[in-house]
Amino acid sequence: MNIKIVSAICLGAVLSSCASKPSEIEAAYVSPTLYESLSCDRLREEATAVSARAIAASGVQQKKADNDAVAVGVGLVIFWPALFFAKGDGASAAEVARLKGEMKAIEMASLKNNCGIRFEDPTAKPAPKKG
């Protein structure tokens, strides 16, 4: 087998094991029925708690993604054994997905109960200013 083909396959395997950025992680499904019986005040408390946990989990996941990017960069340019330090997604990515799902479920329950709770999407681009 050609060494270039083997190298390309190995490089692809290493790059695919890099940790995802929090903005790239899809929300896991969480049933809104868990929240529908809550009052608006209680939904706001849940929203605040889930939001705080999501921010913390996203920070952990972003740090993993940054560390993996550095390990891959060093491995590709300087020292190939550094490629083995890229850890990929793990429990923190699952936590981010679950918390995103909880936020969607809270928003859906809020909509049903007319509470007006909305989470801001930190990955959304700001709307252009008019005028």
Residue 8 has pLDDT above 50, yes or no: no
Mean pLDDT along residues 114-126: 71
Residue 90 has pLDDT above 80, yes or no: no
Mean pLDDT along residues 108-120: 89
pLDDT at residue 106 in the model: 93
Residue owning tokens 């200013």? 129
What is the pTM (predicted TM-score) of this model?
A: 0.66
Q: What percent of the chain has pLDDT over 90?
A: 31
- DSSP per residue, 15-65: HHTSPPPGGGPPPPP--GGGTTTS-HHHHHHHHHHHHHHHHHHHHHHHHHH
Find, among 120, 119, 118, 90, the residue nearest to 25 by Cα: 90
